[in-house]
Amino acid sequence: MAQPTELRRWLLQEGSSLQLLCLAFLLPLLLFVVITTCARGDPKKKQPPSPRKLPIIGNLHQLGSLPHRSLRSLSQKHGPLMLLRLGQVPTLVVSSAEAAREAMTTRDLVFATRPPSKAVDVLSYGSKNVTFAPYGEHWRQAKKAAIVHLLGPKKVQSFRGVRAQEVAAMVEGIAWAAASSPTGVVVDLREAFHKFAHALISRVVLGRCSAGDGRNKAFREVIEEAKSAAAGLRFVEAFPSLAWLGTLLRADSKLRKVFKKWDSLLSQVVEEHERRGPEGDEVAAEGDFVDALLSIHRDPAMGFPLSMDHVKGIFVDLVAAGTSTSYTLLDWAMAELVRNPGEMERAQREIREIVIGGKPMATEDDVAQMSYLRAVIKEVLRLHPPVPLLLPRESMEDTQLQGYHVPRKTRLLVNAWAIARDPASWEAPEVFRPDRFLGCQTDFRGSDFEFIPFGAGRRICPGISFFAISGIELALANLLYRFDWALPGAVVVEDFDMDEAPGNTVRRKSGLRLVAIPYNPKLPKCQLIRDIRTPVGCEKNFSGTLVSLT
């Protein structure tokens, strides 16, 4: 046993080590508390109402797994404009059309930038994209390039053939499976929608270089991995002074592994585009979107200096955002219709009265006449905006909003989900009732602030026309035209699961498996549509044209 003097010496030595260890942990904590305290707003200036905060974490504990719902509950107690502190980040939450209008019109320029994000920065080549780019010349020019070469009205119209082909591929795949059973077959619609959305967006962005289910599958897998990896940094990003925790928890390394997969896939796409010209593909007769970006990259005189990282960053932006938005919206639409058979029957009756003469598919010209179908899509967007909390903005200078002082570097969150369910703007806001939009001029293009699923102002989603309308309308019209739909087995409407899954893009928690019953078995199983992706069971002739098997 150690002698008393030796024991005292050991305690003194070990005590010093323990003190140093405690200091190593307490000093960053003390620094954090000081920074958080100093970051509080000026008490002399009128601050927005705020729920009670906890030390250090502020209001983080009140967000829950579905923040759009938690924030609506808080706004009902504290008002439609409230100030939260999410960790170290002051965050202004908007939950009314009136406050949203002021923030995205009168104060739009002040709130025109995005807050920094480590996850976005890594995955989008230093935020060299459109959606998350900081406000400035790069953002303006990147948005201009996206609209001119992909998202503008003329380009959207030029992709009619692509949309028709991809919708036909999805519908014919279901029809082939259902043809063997006149009473219908259970279809995994979520998987069908995911494949459809990714194939459609990849084709218009990549042209011929999108060909192949293997590559599409690889992109889809990386997108899901990226979402998971980014989630690991959310807590750390609420505490900028503790950024080193990202490295300690290995969240950074997970994100960089996903980025390497992204970059490898995108490098293959770029190499293929550079090896071939735009000619030879009906879809890309004038060159696809990547061709256009590469042209600007090679010749800055065409627009603005565009590095290869810009090309890849913009591509990641469009494919990831467009895919999740499109298939999530289709999933919610079919879920609401199967829960409301009266509305489904009304939509089908309208479609089948317009698409006459035994036509195998509804066209976009037909869809233009379908007022109730378009009302259905608007109602789905109202109840289930794909991104219920619009992407965050950040104030670039001190400003005023609704009479309250808002300091520079305050994050702005607009709860589009809560606004679209506000009883002050909507009658029976929780009820699925598409006819509320019949004869109503309210639209989702950013002018009607009680209905802003895609935002408004400078940072409105530039892909509304393409991602939210054209492909979705055509797909839903043909699914309702070609099939009757029912719940499988013993499932009843009252038990149908409409719970939401957590995430930035909020989808249903459960899958979507419905019974597809062929509406008209005399319709051909495959159509003479050139260059369509072959559904299972169809054969191609030597010209690459699908041959009807009837």
Tokens of 218: 């690889």
CA dist 416 and 99 (Å) reads: 12
Q: What is the DSSP letter of 340?
A: -
Say whether 461 counts as a known binding-site residue. Answer: yes
CA distances 277 to 161, 209, 286, 522, Å, are: 21, 11, 10, 42
CB 276 within 8 A of CB 206: no
- Residue 112 is given by DSSP the state -
Cβ pair 118, 247 in contact under 8 A: no
* Residues near 473 by beta carbon (within 8 Å), at least 6 away in sequence: 364, 367, 370, 373, 374, 377
Answer for the pair 259, 316: CB distance below 8 angstroms, yes or no: no
Nearest by Cα to 409 from 117, 113, 149, 195: 113
CA distances to 105, 250, 363, 417, 525 from 424, rounded to whole Å, are: 21, 46, 38, 14, 49
Distance from C-alpha of 404 to C-alpha of 406, rounded to nearest angstrom: 6
Residue 387 has phi, psi (to 5 degrees) of -120, 90
Using a 10 angstrom Cβ sphere, with 0-12 exposed, 13-18 middle and 19 or more buried, the burial of residue 250 is exposed
Q: What residues does 113 pair with on adjacent strands?
A: 394
Classified as helix, coil or strand, 398 is coil
Q: How far apart are CA 315 and CA 205, in angstroms?
A: 8
- 3-state class (DSSP) for residue 87: coil
With a CB cutoff of 8 Å and minimum separation 6, the contacts of 22 are: none
Q: Which residues, in sequence order, are CB contacts of 373 under 8 Å at separation 6+?
A: 347, 350, 351, 367, 473, 476, 477, 480
Binding residue ranges: 461
Binding residue ranges for heme: 461
